């Protein structure tokens, strides 16, 4: 996918309803892939898939953004930038049973954690900073829930 395509590849797959395919691509272990880097002992993103040149290079880091934007589900609303309106759209995929993400915004810390238990029991815990609001889209396809600042927990079956 190259330098430009990699930053969009996972995002576009998820937007088009192909999150499982994005997960499969992210977790593959053969060359060339992020998983292959892990197999080689990488702890950073490399400049080239084959490991030549810099081994601390953000060029392919766009693929990692997918983890917090889609797996954890933390997205922003372009109409209300700077995390004023937060969109939470967690995406459980593959064999993942949980995801967690915290980031510092200009309003304070934002955090999410989801867990997927046996029988498809899904639980999402959120902490939304003061002065912001969020739209929560649960993976059961129900209508979004609008929330204000504070800690909230959501449950559904998927």
Strand partners, 136: 88, 145
Low-confidence ranges of the chain (pLDDT < 50): none
Strand partners, 112: 101, 126
User: Would you state the torsion angle of the CA atoms of residues 137, 141, 142, 145, taken in this order, to the nearest 10 degrees?
Assistant: 0
Is residue 149 within 8 A of residue 129, CB to CB? The reply is yes
What pLDDT does 125 receive?
98
Element (H, E) at 18: none
What pLDDT does 137 receive?
98
DSSP 33-75: SHHHHHHTT-SS--SSTT--S-SS-GGGTHHHHHIIIIIS-EE
Rounded to whole angstroms, the maximal C-alpha distance in the chain is: 48
What pLDDT does 59 receive?
79
Is residue 89 within 8 A of residue 73, CB to CB? The reply is yes
Residues 72, 139: Cα–Cα separation, whole Å: 12
Buried b (16+ CB within 10 A) or exposed e, 76-91: eeeeeeebbbbbbbbb
What pLDDT does 38 receive?
92
Question: The tokens 């937060």 sit on which residue?
Answer: 86
Neighbours of 134 (CB within 10 A): 25
């Amino acid at each position: 996918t190259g330098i430009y395509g990699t930053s969009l590849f996972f995002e576009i797959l998820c937007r088009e309803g192909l999150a499982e395919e994005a997960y499969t691509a992210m977790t593959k272990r053969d060359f060339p892939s992020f998983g292959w880097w892990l197999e080689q002992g990488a702890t950073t993103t490399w400049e080239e898939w084959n490991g030549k040149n810099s081994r601390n290079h953000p060029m392919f880091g766009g693929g990692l953004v997918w983890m917090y934007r889609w797996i954890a589900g933390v997205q922003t609303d372009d109409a209300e930038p700077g995390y004023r309106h937060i969109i939470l759209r967690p995406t459980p995929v593959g064999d993942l049973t949980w995801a967690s993400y915290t980031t510092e915004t200009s309003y304070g810390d934002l955090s999410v954690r989801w867990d997927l238990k046996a029988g498809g029991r899904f639980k999402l815990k959120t902490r939304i900073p003061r002065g912001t609001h969020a739209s929560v889209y649960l993976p059961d396809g129900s209508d979004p829930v609008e929330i204000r600042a504070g800690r909230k927990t959501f449950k559904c079956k998927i």
